């Protein structure tokens, strides 16, 4: 056997072994009221880290992450059954869109045309459009294709959002790729095209708790957000259009800080948000993925970094959790028992010309990536 042939065979064997270290399995998760079958896909990497993802809403139902002793714990809030997700879910672990976050009054203009999207939430007595409307991307059945790659377990989800659905113009073709890598990262890549000028702002809405879901409080995590400003909100929880410096405020997380030390500070923006539920304007130097935020739990060593190509990140401290929801562990999800770090364009951007544009036109491609990278300290 020649050296070249031996090298080729060795490379093929290595590729197979690496691929075999990652795996994707599928099982039936339930059935929608219309009779459509829903499936649950389990992505596992070479280190035993695992993500369970359903093609209903693209929901990450479970994310098992090791601590400094190698013990795996589920670090995202959620349910064990499809029925629970159908009955009541505060956007646990889902893909959010067509427009993530809020649009004031559900109104915006595009190319001189007025649009009214559904208003499905209310704040300060004023209706707003939230997370894509009554039937956003979190409540639809996606087509799913699992792939076992060389260094990652992959799930490709696709969906076509019909023209006029929830008031949005355009048939919007969306692809979301989840990759669980051997570097213990859960990567989310979004792609979309449209046949009419529209708006788009996709994000992921996992509620994290690095103690393990249903255990302890994430308010004692050490949180860092790489931002010098937030977009302050009104009583309707939509941006005023201004940029508020975080310096000297409870919103300064440029150095790792426990949210619980300042979440109830006497500050008008804390009062309006009922805690933290704001968009941070990320410090960015280019268009590639950059570190946006991190969270660290000293008691077990779990450390999560959020990298993104997006200009903003919503830190939501779980202010609407009230103990009425019982999660996978059988424990109630108490007040602020989970937090979200939602990478995004700014809320209500279509109504603020000074905000980065969320317009998508025919012939253009919406592409953005976010990665949740896990390690220990």
Q: Is 287 tagged catalytic?
A: no
Rounded to whole angstroms, how far apart are CA atoms 109 and 348? 12
Question: Band of the pLDDT at 4, cuts 50, 70, 90?
Answer: very low
* Residue 60 in tokens: 């990450």
Which pLDDT score is estimated for 353?
96
Q: Are 56 and 85 in contact (CB under 8 A)?
A: yes
Query: Which residue out of 205, 229, 278, 345 is catalytically annotated?
Result: 205
Residue 309 reports pLDDT greater than 90? yes
Q: Quick one: pLDDT band at residue 14, thresholds 50, 70, 90?
A: very low
Burial status of residue 268 (CB atoms within 10 A of its CB: 0-12, 13-18, 19 or more): exposed
Q: Provide the pLDDT for residue 78.
A: 98
The predicted pLDDT at position 315 comes to 99
Distances (CA, A) of 85 to 104, 303, 333: 27, 28, 15
Q: Concatenated DSSP letters for 6-58? A: HHHHHHHHHHHHHHHHSEEEEEEEEE-TTS-EEEEEEEE-TTS-EEEEESBTT
DSSP symbols for 80-125: SSHHHHHH--SSTT-EE-SB-SEEETTEEEETTEEEE----EEETT
**Across residues 43-54, what is the average pLDDT?**
98
In the chain, what are the domains?
A: 23-376 (2.70.98.10)
Mean pLDDT, the chain, integer: 94
Instruction: Give the model's pLDDT for residue 188.
Output: 99
Measured CA to CA, the distance from residue 35 to residue 13 in angstroms comes to 43
pLDDT digits 0-9 by tens, 347-372: 999 999 999 999 999 999 999 999 99
pTM of the full structure: 0.94
pLDDT of residue 125: 86
Rounded-to-integer distance, Cα 152 and Cα 353, Å: 40
Taking the CA atoms of residue 158, residue 159, residue 160 and residue 166 in that order, the dihedral angle to the nearest 10 degrees is: -150
> What's the mean pLDDT in 265-271?
98
Q: Kindly write down the DSSP assignment for every residue of 130-199, as one continuous string.
A: ETTSTT-GGGSBPEEEEEE-SSEEEEEEEEEE-TTGGG--S-EEEEEEEEEETTSEEEEEEEEEESS-EE
Give the pLDDT confidence score for residue 2 in this predicted structure.
43
pLDDT band with cut points at 50, 70 and 90 for residue 20: low
Query: With the C-alpha atoms ordered 256, 261, 264, 266, is the resulting torsion angle positive or negative?
Result: negative
Catalytic status, residue 229: no
The CA dihedral of 262, 263, 265, 271, to the nearest 10 degrees, is: 160
CB atoms within 10 A of CB 304: 22
- DSSP labels for 216-242? S-GGGSEEEE-EEEEE-B-TTSSB-S-
**Lowest-pLDDT range of 5-9, 13-17, 121-125, 195-199:** 13-17
Coil vs helix vs strand at 320: coil
Say if residues 303 and 224 touch (Cβ distance below 8 Å): no
């Amino acid at each position: 056997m020649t050296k070249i042939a031996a090298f080729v065979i060795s490379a093929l064997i290595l590729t197979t072994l690496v691929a075999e270290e990652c795996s994707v399995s599928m099982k039936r998760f339930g059935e929608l009221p219309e009779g459509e079958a829903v499936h649950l896909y389990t992505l596992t990497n070479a280190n035993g880290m695992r993500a369970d993802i359903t093609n209903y809403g693209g929901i990450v139902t479970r994310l098992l992450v090791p601590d400094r002793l190698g013990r795996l714990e589920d670090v995202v809030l959620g349910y064990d059954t499809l029925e629970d997700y159908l009955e009541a879910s505060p956007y646990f672990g889902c893909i959010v869109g067509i427009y993530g976050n809020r649009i004031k009054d559900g109104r915006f203009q595009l190319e001189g045309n007025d649009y009214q999207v559904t208003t499905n939430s209310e704040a300060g007595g004023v209706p707003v459009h939230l997370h894509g409307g009554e039937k956003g991307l979190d409540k639809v059945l996606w087509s799913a294709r699992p792939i076992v790659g060389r260094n990652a377990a992959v799930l490709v989800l696709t969906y076509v959002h019909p023209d006029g659905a929830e008031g949005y113009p355009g048939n919007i073709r969306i692809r979301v790729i989840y990759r669980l890598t051997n570097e213990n990262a859960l990567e989310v890549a979004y792609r979309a095209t449209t046949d009419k000028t529209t708006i788009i702002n996709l994000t992921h809405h996992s509620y994290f708790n690095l103690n393990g879901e249903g255990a302890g409080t994430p308010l004692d995590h050490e949180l860092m957000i790489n931002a010098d400003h937030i977009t302050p909100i009104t009583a309707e929880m939509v941006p005023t259009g201004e940029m508020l410096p975080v310096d000297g405020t409870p919103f300064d997380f440029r150095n790792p800080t426990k949210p619980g030390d300042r979440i109830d500070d006497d500050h008008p923006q804390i009062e309006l948000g009922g805690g933290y539920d704001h968009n941070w304007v990320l410090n960015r130097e280019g268009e590639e993925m950059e570190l946006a935020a991190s969270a660290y739990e000293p008691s077990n060593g779990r450390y999560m970094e959020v990298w993104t190509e997006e200009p903003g990140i919503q830190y939501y401290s779980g202010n609407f959790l009230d103990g009425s929801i019982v999660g996978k562990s059988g424990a109630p999800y108490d007040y602020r028992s989970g937090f979200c770090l939602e990478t995004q364009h700014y809320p209500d951007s279509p109504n603020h010309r000074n905000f980065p544009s969320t317009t998508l036109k025919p012939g253009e491609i919406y592409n953005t990536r976010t990665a949740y990278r896990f390690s220990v300290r």
